[in-house]
Amino acid sequence: MLIIGELINGMYTQIQEAISKKDKKIIHKVAKSQLENGADALDVNIGPASLNQIDDMKWLIEAVCEVTDKPISIDSPKPKIIEEVLPLVKNKIIINSTDAQDEKLDILLPLAKKYNARIIALTMDKKQGVPRDRYVRSELAAKIVSKALEAGLNIEDLYLDPIVLPVNVVQPQAIEVLESIKEFKLLSDPPPKTVVGLSNVSQGSKLRSLINRIFVVMAISMGLDGAILDPLDRDLMDAVITAELIMNKNIYCDSYLSAYRKK
């Protein structure tokens, strides 16, 4: 499974400080520790407080790329920012993200194609907002898939995100998301990939790590292909590795946890 480390995000005080002080050491440290703990790619998000978004994003990505050649997930809701930084990134790229609106798809899908990047697409748009159930999610996903095919994208580079919501706020949504992961797979052959921003499920809850862990295992059993998560949560990573094993994605051996981490 594609593990995208979520910790380089201006939402975290430490990262926000590093950005404002232009202190690369902290960024290097957080990047490395995520990779050492099993991240396949690193999400990079400047957070809401940035005053100079493009420059901050450039600086942040540059800092991360100094310590890794693994893929970088450029995380911004603004296509303009993504477009500006794309040419500067030598690592493989994950565009994070588009949604189902034409104005975003029309800019970002061709960019994904041009830069040979993978792209995450949220199944939401302005009209619907956050989708209320699996049917709306599938409808929007179908639109994204057909637009992606039109744009000539390799469909396996498309990661549909059904939008995970906090279980303590909208409890009925969790099962809708899980069902969507399964249903998205029926949209094309080969099927699109699926990804979730995991930590959102436990936002504001008390037992965050436990909720994340259980939810990701359930999602993997539905066929989840990737997750943006905290790879430093050892129990969570162990659960991911074990769920993948149970799904027959990797060959068992007694030391399968460390075998996975050796990859």
Q: How far apart are CA 164 and CA 125, in angstroms?
A: 15
Does 116 bind other proteins (CB under 8 A)? Our answer is no
Does 90 bind other proteins (CB under 8 A)? Our answer is no
Token representation of residue 152? 């000539």
Does 155 bind other proteins (CB under 8 A)? Our answer is no
Size of residue set near other proteins by CB under 8 A: 11
Whether 157 and 118 have beta carbons less than 8 Å apart is answered as: yes
Q: How far apart are CA 173 and CA 163, in angstroms?
A: 9
Token representation of residue 96? 């994070």
- The interface region with other proteins, picked from 13-21, 95-103, 109-117, 254-262 by CB under 8 A, is 254-262
- The interface region with other proteins, picked from 23-31, 188-196, 208-216, 253-261 by CB under 8 A, is 253-261
Does 258 bind other proteins (CB under 8 A)? Our answer is yes
DSSP letters of 37-97?
TT-SEEEEE--TT-SSHHHHHHHHHHHHHTT--S-EEEE-S-HHHHHHHGGG--S-EEEEE
Which amino acid, one-letter code, is at 45?
N
Binding mask 193-232 toward other proteins (x if CB under 8 A, else -) reads: ----------------------------------------
214 vs 245, beta carbon nearer other proteins? 245
Nearest approach in angstroms of CB 135 to other proteins is 35
2 vs 74, beta carbon nearer other proteins? 2
Does 252 bind other proteins (CB under 8 A)? Our answer is yes
171 vs 258, beta carbon nearer other proteins? 258
Identified binder of other proteins from the candidate list 21, 51, 127, 254, rule CB under 8 A: 254
Helix crossing, 53-65 with 24-36: angle to 10°? 50
Q: What's the half-sphere exposure (Cβ side, CA atoms, 13 Å) at 80? A: 3
Nearest approach in angstroms of CB 259 to other proteins is 5
21 vs 262, beta carbon nearer other proteins? 262
Whether 123 and 100 have beta carbons less than 8 Å apart is answered as: yes
User: Which residues lie near other proteins (CB under 8 A)?
Assistant: 250-256, 258-259, 262-263
